[in-house]
Structure 1
Amino acid sequence: MAKTRICVIGAGPSGMSMVYNFSKMETGNDAEIVCFDKQDTWGGQWNFSWRTGTDEYGEPCHNGMYKYLWSNGPKECLEYPDYTFEEHFGKPVPSFPPRPVMRDYIEGRMKKCAKDLKACFRFKTAVRFVKYNEMPEDNFSVTFTNLEDNKTVTETFTHVVVAIGIFNSPKIPNFPGIESFGGRVLHSHNFRDPNEFKGQRLLVIGASYSAEDIAIQCCKFGAKSIISSWRTKPMGFKWPKGIEEKPLVEKFDSNMVHFTDGTSAEVDTVIYCTGYLYLYPFMDENLKLKSPKLTMYPDNVYKGTLWLGGGNNKVFYIGMVDQYFSFTLFDVQTLWTCKYIFGELNEQTQREDLEKSMKEWVNRRNSLKDCHDEIDFQGDLITVLSKDTGYNIDSGPVGAKLFHTWEHQREADIVTYKDQCFPSIYTKSMAPAPSCKYSDALDDSIQAYTGAK
């Protein structure tokens, strides 16, 4: 029997959880896991880089993280049950951390592990192609390039885990006349520093979380005015002075933007906050997850994790659902994947049973009406995976209750919701109030956030 050899593509929070949970398995001591990433360290999107477009090796920049990003959901809903924020920092900390804090936290759990997990990673390495080899091989040929020496080789693995996240392939619509626009046009994926837009008139195209966050952030750092343009419906918040909403752009005429309600405005910069696409050019066609848009539960994926489209139930997609819970969801998915690979789950094995279960989830997905339905849906998925694996059973239902509260707070005041406090699901400690209001917080360092001297 071939040695179990697992290929993990992506060393962000999903890939890190996969390696972490693999290291905790009591079975499969002779198995091997290899996690590939184009960056020079783990952390994925939580690593900030000034680079956009291409990196130093000419590879497309996967990372779209920007300065001064703060978690837009309470950390209590994405906490690891076996490694809490309180354990990491030695005390309760506020509920909405900035990027450096999140980065420090996910790395802290990896460093806590007794094993040298860095040995499982191959950084500065780009996966080029993954192909399933039919019986009798029943394995995968994975071709990858070491970016430092530009050498491309192929190795064989028994399983493949795709963990590249969902925020790397921007979706950018076209508008009539955009080519005549005289200012800068960018997608939020290439947004890095709000100080760049101080004193400018901005048009933010989009009406979801990134549009909201970038509008608020640019307002905080001194943009002159911001218009948020919506397609389906406005976000409808009580915006601070300087931000307003308008319906979809109809056309551009140089720097003048015309909207479908007949109004117009002159702007200096256009920022597309129009979401992302599922894109896996390195996967063979029958292994490639496809969907016209990001979704709460992709087709052909059993329990949101196991790919049913090809590869003999040996391909897994982690963190590919549109997210509320993020880290917690990735963690329980990867634990489920490890236990599935090593035969520790009492799982259905007949294909018709797997497909029936998948279709039931897809049908429920299609009936979701609003964010609260989506929260319950994702909480229930976490609960199912938790029951399978022995993961903390409170993660899904209690996390969902906190998210419902969070949504109501956002709706009540979009400016102050990041100042609110939540209790930890696992330690029960209430988070302290932040040292200063989010609207005044211009320092995103760990020291400022934790109150360290």
Structure 2
Amino acid sequence: MNQRVAIIGAGPSGLSQLHAFEKARLNGIDIPEIVCFEKQKNWGGLWNYTWRTGLDEHGEPVHGSMYRYLWSNGPKECLEFADYTFSDHFQKNIPSFPPRPVLYDYITGRAKSENLDRYIQFETVARRVEYDQDSDQFQVVVEDLKTQQEQCQTFDYVIVATGHFSIPNVPHLEGLESFSGRVMHSHDFRDAEEFRDRNTVVIGSSYSAEDIALQMYKYGARSVTIGYRSSPMGFNWPEGIKEVPLPMKLQGKSAQFADGTDQDDLDAIILCTGYLHSFPFLEDSLRLKTHNCLYPDGLYKGIFWQDNPKLMYLGMQDQYYTFTMFDAQAWYARDVILGNIALPEASVRLEDMTTWKTREEALSNPFEDIDFQTDYIKDLCAATDYEDFDLDAAANAFKTWEHHKVENILTYRDQAFVSPCNGEKAPVHHTPWLNALDDSMAAFLATEKELVVKAG
């Protein structure tokens, strides 16, 4: 009987997995029956922007954490598909830091070119996944959100590709209940225009706090105060943005911070405090429980559930690389399912995981983090036929990007990088990021001459 594979989620990770199987099929290889379940109406995961927050039209928690004016905060060259470059998709070389609509078009463009939607059941949410030891198969219960009907299907493999940036981590801050302004998590942040002429506090010290603070500065917030728990990000912030320790006291619209700084007339507090790995549809024996790290416990090669390797997770790591890493993981997972790679016994898997975890624990700075994840992807690619590309060049681009951010946090997106896939250097964008208030795909892809003609 033909084997069956369930893929839960049709975001970038799930689409990478579908693409990996489709590439094998197009090369004449018999593949299992593939069924992908996607809760949203469309593919793209977090990149599938929605104005909704809280619950969707079906009463399900909104998956998306994407905000309207988001631009890539890393060079596109470091997340490029080796077998489908940005130049392949757009038929021209484009700047290194695209806005959200451009990245969404790129991610879904490869999927559209292969008609991968034929594998996907949209508006279908996974409710329960259980493993039956006697049959060595998984029972997967899903609900069609349109009809509210549940069905149970049997699969030989389950691949969890739901991501881990959709369930907000919401810590308690002393006095938050007495704050009379707006309180929200970055998961619900949608439009920086809302905070024009407002005094805001951003809580956090990582990428979300950094970018949302810059978003509000760009779109006219009166002030942005970033509160950190352990250490500041330390960038050379422009006037109007400052970093201080966490607030010790909140009252009305005022905050007093641990360093003695006072801030009055506050309008909003935005909690950029990260996300939780959450898989309520998995039985406890299958559920990954981890914090955000570069090598989660219990996943051999960062993919295979140690206690049952027929269950796989994609994209569960803290991420420098994104789409690039998802492809590498998807190829490896596919080749294990197809029998091209034989997994070693449990003790050997544990030894390998321990080696990676020991190295991770010794990491002390972003450059070492980048090298760690680069080596991880190299390890995966070495075992598969994933298309060759210059991963060392991508790593060096990441390190240069880190330097650019330190030099000027407002202009790092105005730089240009070389593709590790085709060697092309990106053009410089026609408008500095700080002045590019139209983030539509048409505006981003237009040439300077086309913009002048349109303006005239």
Structure 2 unaligned spans of 5+: 451-456
3-state SS, counterpart of residue 195 of structure 1: helix
Counterpart AA for 1:281 = P
Counterpart AA for 1:324 = Y
1:284-328 Cα deviation digits (max 9, x unpaired)? 11111111x21111001011111113x3x1011101100011000
Percent pairwise identity: 45
Partners in 1 of 2:105 and 2:133 — Cα distance? Answer: 42
Alignment match of 1:426 (pick from 421, 424, 440): 421
Change in CA separation of 1:138 and 1:28 when aligned onto 2, cut-off 3 Å: farther
Question: What are the within-5 Å matches in structure 2 for residues 362-441 of structure 1?
Answer: 362-441=357-436
Counterpart AA for 1:407 = E
1:6 and 2:5 correspond: yes
Q: Which residue of 1 aligns with 2:335?
A: 339
Alignment match of 2:238 (pick from 222, 237, 240): 240
Partners in 2 of 1:392 and 1:369 — Cα distance? Answer: 31
Counterpart AA for 2:364 = K
3-state SS, counterpart of residue 29 of structure 1: coil
3-state SS, counterpart of residue 130 of structure 1: strand
Q: Is the 8 A contact 1:206 1:229 kept in 2?
A: yes
1:357 and 2:347 correspond: no
Question: What are the within-5 Å matches in structure 2 for residues 53-452 of structure 1?
Answer: 53-113=54-114, 116-135=115-134, 137-266=135-264, 267-291=266-290, 293-309=291-307, 311=308, 313-345=309-341, 347-451=342-446
- Which structure 1 residue ranges, 4+ long, deviate > 4 Å from structure 2? none
Counterpart AA for 1:343 = G
3-state SS, counterpart of residue 360 of structure 2: helix
- Equivalenced residue count is 445
Q: Is the 8 A contact 1:383 1:397 kept in 2?
A: no
The CA RMSD over aligned residues, in Å, is: 1.2
Counterpart AA for 1:445 = S
Deviation at 1:112, TM superposition (A): 2.0
Counterpart AA for 1:447 = A
Partners in 2 of 1:395 and 1:425 — Cα distance? Answer: 5
Partners in 2 of 1:28 and 1:420 — Cα distance? Answer: 42
1:384-428 Cα deviation digits (max 9, x unpaired)? 011011224545322111101111111111000000000111111
Q: Is the 8 A contact 2:31 2:338 kept in 1?
A: no
Partners in 1 of 2:389 and 2:425 — Cα distance? Answer: 16
Q: TM-score, normalised by structure 2?
A: 0.96
Deviation at 1:28, TM superposition (A): 5.7
Q: Is the 8 A contact 1:383 1:395 kept in 2?
A: no
Structure 1 unaligned spans of 5+: none
Partners in 1 of 2:256 and 2:282 — Cα distance? Answer: 41
1:358-399 Cα deviation digits (max 9, x unpaired)? 111111111111111111110000000110112245453221
Q: TM-score, normalised by structure 1?
A: 0.96
Q: Is the 8 A contact 2:82 2:388 kept in 1?
A: no
Change in CA separation of 1:209 and 1:30 when aligned onto 2, cut-off 3 Å: closer
Counterpart AA for 1:366 = E
3-state SS, counterpart of residue 131 of structure 1: strand
Q: Which residue of 2 aligns with 1:45?
A: 46
3-state SS, counterpart of residue 24 of structure 1: helix
